[in-house]
Amino acid sequence: MNVTVMADTIQELEQQKQQIIQQQNEAKAQRDAFLSSYNSMKETVEDIEIELQMMDSKIETLINQINANEKDLEATNQEIEKTQKEITEREEDIKEKQEVLDQRMTALYKSGTNGYISIILKSEGLGDFISRIEAVNKIADYDKKIINEMNEQKKELEEQKATLDLQKIKIEKLRAENIAKKAELDKSKSEQQAILAENQAKMKEFDEKVNYYYDLISRLEAQKQEKDRQITILRNRAQSSSSTSRGTTSANYSSDALVQYALSFRGVPYKWGGTTPSGFDCSGFVQYVYAHFGIHLSRTTYTQIKEGVAVSRNNLQPGDLVFFGYGSPHHVGIYIGDNAYVHAPQTGDVVKISPLTRKDYMGARRVR
């Protein structure tokens, strides 16, 4: 192929590229015009989605608190049972010791070889008699001392049990309050889901149109890049550039490949706690997509927002994580370019593309 022919081919490719760009711009204009007519409805849907995501986050926290309450309750019941057992053992010891003391005190009034009286009467002289009396009193005093100590231990155990009983009441009350809060949240969540379902039915055409335009723009972008590749090859040949391949530095993954992989899960249903293609929640979806490219992220939005480096909104690139919330993040998605992101929204929805227009946008992280 001579230089003139290559120049003509390059010009033809440039014209084709410009036609593709024009088609892209027309598709974007059609998409933007369609988006503008649905802004009000979309804002309502997003507000409900945000509320549901926040509810999911609160419900998860309450479930963890209820589980902790039940563990504390179980430990307290075991401690109460243990303490009650020790109290019973002390009562039996006291009863046994008291019986021994009573027998010995009774023996003071008995005669015979086994009684204390006979022992005292057998004393040899006054000194021996006094010694025997002191010995008997010491034995009785010792028994009384042991009984008093046992009663003190029993009292301490009873006080300990009373404290544990109060602690148990507090834990049960806290558990009941958390269960009531969760029930109220579950009810509110069901009501919001019903409202969301009504709005989502109206938005079905909207989602289909948006996805159509994003797919069209993506296909046109691939065509444009192919034209650029062909033009570059021809220009290199025309300039008789060195045939030595230019070295390139490969990253761990391609942002385009990651985005396309993420988009392949569109339509997968949202599942609370889901981390597989059978069902995703927002952070589980992000974690799964990145793991495919050898990038291991933590499990929740609260920890994912601390990974990688912060990225300003103006410098977003495809593959960046985008976070949403007020104060703390309750939702995350993957930026796909052209002011849009793919995400697993909330219960009752599916993995889909949404425009990056949410008012609770918090920030972005790049985890390359």
DSSP class per residue in 126-172: HHHHHHHHHHHHHHHHHHHHHHHHHHHHHHHHHHHHHHHHHHHHHHH
Closest C-alpha to 140, from 97, 111, 110: 97
Say whether 331 is catalytic: yes
Task: Enter the tokens of residue 149.
Answer: 């100590």
Chain centre to alpha carbon of residue 175: 20
Is residue 79 within 8 A of residue 163, CB to CB? The reply is no
- List the beta strands (DSSP E) in the chain: 275-276, 279-280, 309-311, 321-326, 328-337, 340-343, 352-355, 361-366
Say whether 282 is catalytic: yes
CA–CA gap between residue 256 and residue 285 (Å, rounded): 17
Query: Residue 15: CA atoms inside 13 Å, Cβ hemisphere, count?
Result: 6
Task: Enter the tokens of residue 59.
Answer: 């419900």
DSSP 343: E
Is residue 178 within 8 A of residue 65, CB to CB? The reply is yes
Is residue 267 within 8 A of residue 353, CB to CB? The reply is no
Identified catalytic residue from 292, 296, 330, 343: 343
Say whether 343 is catalytic: yes
The residues carrying an active-site annotation are: 282, 331, 343
